[in-house]
Amino acid sequence: MAENDSPANTPLDVHAEGWSVLHLYYRIDRALWTSLDEKEQEEGLEEFMALLVAAEQEADLQVVAQGVIGKADFGLVVIHPKIERVQRLTQEVSATILGTCFETVYSYLSISEVSEYQTSTGEFARKLIDEEGLAPATEEFQQKLGAFSERMGHYAKARLYPELPGKDKPVICFYPMSKQRGERFNWYALSLAERKRLMGEHATSGRRYAGRIQQLVTSSTGIDDWEWGVTLFSKDLKAIRDIVYELRYDEGSTFYGLFGEFYIGVRIEPLDLAKALQL
How many Å apart are CA 20 and CA 61, to the nearest integer? 10
175 catalytic residue (yes or no) = yes
Helices of type H across the chain:
30-34, 38-57, 83-94, 121-130, 139-160, 192-207, 237-247, 251-256, 273-277
The packing angle between helices 192-207 and 237-247, to 10°, is: 150
SS3 category, 263? strand
| Rounded Cα–Cα distance for residues 164 and 97 (Å) | 27
List of residues 6+ apart from 207 with CB closer than 8 A: none
Please tell me which residue in 175, 209, 256, 263 is annotated as part of the active site. 175
Burial class of residue 81 in the structure, from the number of CB atoms within 10 Å of its CB (0-12 exposed, 13-18 middle, 19+ buried): middle
Active site positions, annotated: 175
